[in-house]
Amino acid sequence: MDIRLDEGYWFGLGVFETIAVENGKVVLLEEHLQRLEKGIREFNLKMDADKEQIASYLEQYPMTHGVMKIAVSDENMIITHRQNPYGAQQFQKGFRGMFSQVIRNETSSLTYHKTLNYGDCILEKRKAVEDGYDEFVFCNSKGEICEGTSSNIFFVKDHVVYTPELSCGLLPGIVRDYLLETENIVETVILPGEISGYEECFLTNSLMGIMPVTSLEGYSFPKRDIADTWNRKFWRDME
């Protein structure tokens, strides 16, 4: 693999997408490419996403339950693949989470794009696993809940679904956008002290779909009805 040492390598000025591939079908590919291209424009990158190269790669490496990753910087477009680590076992068990001690910077444009500046997320995800949890959840400088290290977060009360609004400082996830377009969801400000008032919590990302959260910061959520229903619907829609 030929990698040029540009500002993506030295300073993290690049963007990437992590995309699920199920039975040879790339899940929400156009939405991922649109977000990738938006990041390319935001950071004035010289390289574009080569759709023909992506299609050729998929033909060369067919996947049943896999992950394709596309990274773009000024002088590189790199495609890799691996197995999807999420499956029925994790979904049935659900995730346990805690709040991260790292503060998400809601004033930075890097927060709102999936950039190669991903160190906080990786380090906190590793720490969560080391501490016996599945995910850490970030709050911003105002103490408002933002997102997980690799996920968007949703809460449910009285059959109404809530999620942190974009201005809180979070990556607009592909599954998050899908749900906002297809379901009735309220975007709002949610504080850590308010989570005990919710009956259900779930996380979303492109690889796991919709993951129920069994507990967050020691508070146990008694329900997972909407997560179960929406996850089945999501993967059915993706077939």
Do residues 50 and 97 share a domain? no
Report d(CA 208, CA 115) in Å as an integer: 20
Write the pLDDT tens digit of every residue in 8-22: 999 999 999 999 999
Which band of pLDDT confidence, cut at 50, 70 and 90, is reported for residue 41? Answer: very high
Clarify whether residues 14 and 55 are in a common domain. yes
Return d(Cα 199, Cα 203) in angstroms, integer: 14
The distance from CA 21 to its chain's CA centroid, rounded to whole angstroms, is 15
Q: Say which CATH number the domain at 207 has.
A: 3.20.10.10
Structure-token match 């507990």, residue found: 215
Mean pLDDT, residues 29-41 taken together: 96
pLDDT above 70: percentage of residues in the chain: 100
pLDDT number for residue 2? 84
pLDDT digits (tens, 9 = 90+) for 146-166: 999 999 999 999 999 999 999
137 and 207 together in one domain: yes
pLDDT at 1 over 80: no
pLDDT tens by residue, 211-234:
999 999 999 999 999 999 999 999
| Whether 124 and 222 share a structural domain | yes
Same domain? 97 vs 204: yes
Q: Are residues 94 and 68 in the same domain?
A: no
pLDDT-above-90 percentage for the chain: 96
Instruction: For 104-133, give the DSSP string.
Output: E-TT-GGGGS-BS--HHHHHHHHHHHHTT-
Beta-ladder partners of 160:
157
- Of residues 64 and 1, the one with the higher pLDDT is 64
Helix axes 174-182, 225-237, angle to 10 degrees: 100
On the question of pLDDT at 49 being above 90, the answer is no
Q: How far is the first Cα of the chain from the last one, in angstroms, to the nearest whole number?
A: 33
**Does the structure show a pLDDT above 80 at 144?**
yes
What is the residue range of 227's domain? Answer: 88-237
Helices and strands (DSSP H and E) totals, the chain: 7, 13
Q: 28: domain CATH number?
A: 3.30.470.10
Q: 128-134 — which CB contacts under 8 Å span 24+ positions? A: 128/97, 128/98, 128/100, 131/98, 132/96, 133/95, 133/96, 133/97, 133/98, 134/90, 134/95, 134/96, 134/97
Q: Which of 192, 213, 65 is nearest to 134 (CA)?
A: 213
Band (187; pLDDT cuts 50, 70, 90)? very high
Answer with the one of 66, 83, 100 that is the final residue of a domain. Answer: 83
Identify the domain boundary among 83, 106, 124. Answer: 83
Give the total number of structural domains in the chain.
2
Domain boundary residue, one of 83, 105, 130? 83
Whether the pLDDT of residue 38 is over 80: the answer is yes
Please provide the average confidence, as pLDDT, over all residues in the chain: 96
Residue type, 103: I
Phi, psi of 65 (to 5 degrees): -140, 75
Whether 50 and 77 have beta carbons less than 8 Å apart is answered as yes
Q: Are residues 57 and 125 in the same domain?
A: no
Is 123 contained in some domain? yes
Report the pLDDT averaged over residues 65-71.
Answer: 97
